[in-house]
Chain A
């Protein structure tokens, strides 16, 4: 039987491509999109809901025929959230905390991860087990203990013993309560970042490090000149995660910065905020408050989405990252 085939001339060579190849290719494209679209639906559903709700005017709310697409588009809710709620200051403060703490967290966790990935010292395995344990203990459980610690900050009673009275260092409502844990590998989910960094450092060929050490680089120089540049993708990944965690954190903020009005705290009590702000006018109805809260949520997550869009462009496929042969 004669096999039907399409030929493509490629300068001198002739490559035969069978129809089955094209069939397989289009089938896999189809399956891929089927998969992606069905998952996207699950993920985008709440986002559509938020957009749909926050863009409708009051009359659309009473209208049963409006299901998804509002009849009277309005940006008044967004405008209200951006101008009337006074969120510029909280946003700036939160951005500052986020950037500083995330940077500190990444810097420390990457070094610690490297230490665990490549070095062995007494108790290193047990210590790594403890890293895992720090992720297992959820912050909700240590709520009270953390509060007491931060209120009378002390290191095993040493400060108290030196001054002769219980420690009076109160870190509540100060940035230090966020910054100190971040810079000592105890920030928000630092344990997970250490785990991620450890796995990625372990995947870099050992020969690369050996070569640098033999050529006379110290451990620190090897770390900064050889290991860190090789893990650019991991650094991007961890920065994304860390920034998201600090930006959306309301749990620690509630304990450590009770009067600080971070963005997440504002969003958490957005109902109360709007309820008070709208006063006793006729505007204080569910149909006015709900679109505004959802608009506030969208404003809250927008910076994160932009950050992700910018950062994900920098992800790059690793070229033969060692340059080693054989």
Chain B
């Protein structure tokens, strides 16, 4: 037994999230869409309210007490993020408004600013649109070649294809998900980073899903870039994070221009501020940073290992039931996976299923989950997706399975 990981006190945890006691259509609210955006604990809500009520002013500007207090809180949030990712240097943390903006920042400042036309960027077939479209834009504007690494029928990254895509040495960056928002697949990040580096490429991980479910150590992964977002980590919307190695940030031109990102401005030219300020033009999401800090404190007070163990039990329970539902097709069967399940039913379209589940108080996402190419890869028009959070209970997983059985009958 190495089981020193305490089981989560689910009742207490659920009490931390006020919205979970809401009723939907007369039924308990069964929220299985945390992969789209997670619910917020009181600790996050309270920290943001307290900030606005007692410690709010613009940051990095005022030579007055309240601005200093706000600046200190904002920079403390950066420190918390750095520790959360085990970054070696707090200057390696850039706040953005979302993962999407963080990837756009890299696509612009590194893709167009550092990579040379003719160099290639490798993405994969299981990327979210946020890790596809910015690279297409860089390709079209800057002459970068875009290569798409295949995935296997099990929904895992095809490592042989990755090696092939890297073989000619022209790849400047590998930008792939750390955990698929559709298949739940967790990618072998360390191995991907090693392969990329051996081929002379940098590596970016889209950790929007992964950072919520697992302990991420950017130094152990040897990630060059790592992005995640606050609102999926039980924090607020409007705040995302870019981690990048300091030397890379130093070498990259800015993304957005404006206040806060310069040290000197004349009408002839401007001199960029040191990192990370160089990449934080304009008034940043101050209250949201404080909310993210509270969210990180919250998940760390529970423990990432305990959260991971809880979610693994939920995944095992889902895998023991969902694939056995008659007529249900589950997308992807990755060995290493998190609590995200996309599926289709033979008798009903994803939207009809979602409407039925909604009547039972169950919230799932339906459609293509910002991953159209992935749905084409698997030859399905659309799917429903159930995604778990730290507050998800085994009973909710069972309720989903029962509701799906009944939904299939409903449409027969």
Chains A and B belong together in one complex: no
